[in-house]
Structure 1
Amino acid sequence: MVWVFGYFRASWTLRVDMVADFVCRLLKHMDATGAKQVTPQLREDEKDMPLSEWIDADNFNPGYLMRDIHLMPRSGNTREWQHTQDYWGEKDEFPEIDLTDGVFRYDANRPSGNA
């Protein structure tokens, strides 16, 4: 499962397309290495980072989202753990993501569940 959320103040698909390209690259890497699942994990120096709401309510705050913001993922204080609205930065950053970085925990076992 991949959770995708586009930009709020720009074309939704700009970000969704970048995420889709990243996911395809990740799936190819997983296939090449025999991984059946991957889970992002915090680096050691990020374990105690302050967490905040997933989005900045001063930037985007529709009622339907604010009512259940507590159910959304949390945001960290480093760029990798934030949902930015910066297309111009992300368009260069997404293709450069290192799939061998220790932040990605690969597992050769199939995920458990009802799938």
Structure 2
Amino acid sequence: MGRSLDDLGDTLSWWDLYVMLRWHRHDSAVSRLKFPETWWRTIEVDLAALQVDALRGGNWQRGGGQGQKPDPILGPWPADQEALPAEPAKPKMTATEIRDELAKRRALRESRAG
């Protein structure tokens, strides 16, 4: 079942919204927005890259170490993804402003529906 911000306060609780934003899937829209350059990077991708790096390094070694040693395909994880903040950021809107905005959106949706 898909959830929408229009459901906030009805079938979607504030806690559900917090959980969806805090512990989102690695391929979710939140991840793509938060980490646009590295959202696709998973443990599977890293393991595959390490395997290829090991194979390339082994071939270079068996070839007598001629030429430059091959560079790794993927570098280390970016620093911005290693540490999560201890506490969520303070909201930019008060609870009253959020309720007013939701009420306006519900009224607009109901007026469009009929």
TMscore range, shorter length: under 0.3
Higher relative contact order (CA 8 A, sep 6+): 1
Tell me the TM-score normalized by structure 2: 0.24
Q: When you count helix as a share of all residues, which structure comes out higher?
A: 2
Higher normalized strand content (fraction of residues)? 1
Structure number with larger C-alpha Rg: 2
